[in-house]
Amino acid sequence: MPLHQSGVDVTPSTSQMFAQRAPSKMVDYLRDGLVGVDRLQYHGSGSFKTAINKRINKIHLKGAAQYVVFSPVTQREFEDINKIRDAHYKGLRFMYISGEGVLIIKLGATRVHELAHRVFVRCFEQKLFQMGLDSELEPIGATGFSGPGSEKEPDSALIPTSRPFETDWPTLVVECGTSDSLARLRVDAQWWLENSAGDVKTAIVISVSKPERSFHLEKWELADAPDPSDPSIFPPTITEEADIIGEKVHITAKGVTKTSFVIDFTKIMLRRPLARHGEGNFTFSKEDLAGIAGRVWRNSIRRASNVRIIGPLPCAIVFTRISYYLRMQGYLRQSLSQPAMGFFSSDHGDSLAYEDRGLYE
């Protein structure tokens, strides 16, 4: 479906408590953070699917670039691409710049990527639940929004129930990717703060490196003070960072070491916390952050296998795992020492041959 059209938050409490701040326009969405990223011409759905399949496989096999750019893409073609994505590639995240006809795609094709932002959001929601506020903030996933001349989807987003309209912006968004994509993730975070006219209060950037087992967090917000060169601009800025490597956690706020990573209650809930009800800022201790990273790594272990694959990798992985489970349960009579051979069609419409010799960790 097309991304949502932007709107202005009309919630009275918001307008009373938060003055609108003019965002900066110093980020080049077409180029910043996209050095070395493939830029392809759009020639229809067939070539689009081939290109996406190729890059998804590269990510799984070689850790290739997580972004790809298509142009020129008309509004009608963009709507067609949306339909292809909804049917075959639900993990793709779009930024569409209509004036230039440019579609920037983030490939959320790995288990680590999905775990990282989902586990973080789940931990946030647990803190919300502990305060008895789970009914006041709703998850809206990768719902897209439109700014002036461009549209974008996050990896995750949450919106307070005081913003009930479809065009209302979330107050918290999460952008996740590999450590190699950090420069572009920062551009993505700035897009939310700039294009929502300040309605998005906090953007969380998560970058992960599976080889290094590193987990990096950034909190982006509009600056409290205006740009010295232009008093009308409150530029997006990093207000807190955290690095987690193993059990070691280092948290800083503008260069000052901290003991916790804090998300401001008032900015997310659009009201002040009631201390007498146990409400307060959403505080992630070092133990919380180490636990989040640990859950990601514990649940993304690569199995040792000599599966030989011709065709899209994700489909083959699913099939061999299922066949292994069925054999272990006795539904398939084949010995684990004998290779399983097969030929079938993937959900991308491509033929796939596989050979499973039953070697697993």
CA distances from 63 to 78, 104, 317, 349 (A): 27, 19, 17, 24
Residues 295, 313 within the same domain: no
Task: Establish if 279 belongs to a structural domain.
Answer: yes
Q: Which of 283, 301, 319 is the last residue of a domain?
A: 301
Residues 224, 315 within the same domain: no
For residue 25, count other CB atoms closer than 10 A to its CB. Answer: 11
Mean pLDDT over residues 49-64, rounded?
A: 82
pLDDT of residue 322 exceeding 60: no
The predicted model scores a pTM of 0.78
* pLDDT per residue as tens digits for the range 128-153: 999 999 999 999 999 999 999 999 99
Residues 261, 335 within the same domain: no
pLDDT of residue 247 exceeding 70: yes
Residues 50, 185 within the same domain: yes
- Going by C-alpha positions, the residue among 64, 109, 101, 62 that lies closest to residue 85 is 109
What is the predicted pLDDT for the residue at 65? 79
pLDDT of residue 335 exceeding 70: no
Helix (H) or strand (E) holding 68: strand 67-71
* pLDDT per residue as tens digits for the range 111-128: 899 999 999 999 999 999
Structure tokens at 38: 């493939």
Decide which of 229 and 50 is more confident. Answer: 50
What is the predicted pLDDT for the residue at 258? 97
CATH number at residue 28: 3.90.1570.10
Express as a percent the part of the chain with pLDDT over 70. Answer: 75
pLDDT of residue 232 exceeding 60: yes
What is the predicted pLDDT for the residue at 61? 67
Q: Which residues of 238-275 are buried (b: 16+ CB within 10 A; e: fewer)?
A: bbbbbbbeeeebebebeeeeeebbbbbbebbbbeebee
What is the predicted pLDDT for the residue at 308? 43
Residues 181, 313 within the same domain: no
Q: How much helix, strand and coil, in percent to the nearest 5, is found in the chain?
A: 30, 30, 40
* pLDDT per residue as tens digits for the range 14-43: 333 333 444 455 689 999 999 989 999 999
Mean pLDDT over residues 266-294, rounded?
A: 97
136 contacts 161 by C-beta, under 8 angstroms: yes
Q: pLDDT class for 52, splitting at 50, 70, 90?
A: very high
What is the predicted pLDDT for the residue at 301? 87
Mean pLDDT over residues 38-54, rounded?
A: 92
Mean pLDDT over residues 54-60, rounded?
A: 83
Mean pLDDT over residues 258-287, rounded?
A: 97
Mean pLDDT over residues 164-190, rounded?
A: 96
How far is 205 from 164, CA to CA, in rounded Å? 25
Task: Establish if 205 belongs to a structural domain.
Answer: yes
Decide which of 315 and 234 is more confident. Answer: 234
What is the predicted pLDDT for the residue at 231? 74
pLDDT of residue 250 exceeding 70: yes
Mean pLDDT over residues 64-90, rounded?
A: 92
Average pLDDT, the chain: 81
In Å, the largest CA–CA distance within the chain is 74
Task: Establish if 3 belongs to a structural domain.
Answer: yes
29 contacts 97 by C-beta, under 8 angstroms: yes
Residues 31, 137 within the same domain: yes
How many structural domains compose the chain?
2
Residues 297, 312 within the same domain: no
Task: Establish if 169 belongs to a structural domain.
Answer: yes
Q: Which of 282, 301, 320 is the last residue of a domain?
A: 301
What is the predicted pLDDT for the residue at 57? 85
Q: pLDDT class for 192, splitting at 50, 70, 90?
A: very high
Residues 109, 258 within the same domain: yes
Task: Establish if 361 belongs to a structural domain.
Answer: no
pLDDT of residue 326 exceeding 50: no
Residues 181, 36 within the same domain: yes
Task: Establish if 87 belongs to a structural domain.
Answer: yes
Task: Establish if 168 belongs to a structural domain.
Answer: yes
Residues 297, 316 within the same domain: no
Q: pLDDT class for 62, splitting at 50, 70, 90?
A: low
Express as a percent the part of the chain with pLDDT over 90. Answer: 64
How far is 242 from 169, CA to CA, in rounded Å? 26
Residues 335, 281 within the same domain: no
pLDDT of residue 318 exceeding 60: no
pLDDT of residue 288 exceeding 70: yes
Residues 316, 297 within the same domain: no
Show the domain range for 153: 1-301
CA distances from 38 to 4, 51, 52, 58, 263 (A): 27, 10, 11, 13, 35
Task: Establish if 197 belongs to a structural domain.
Answer: yes
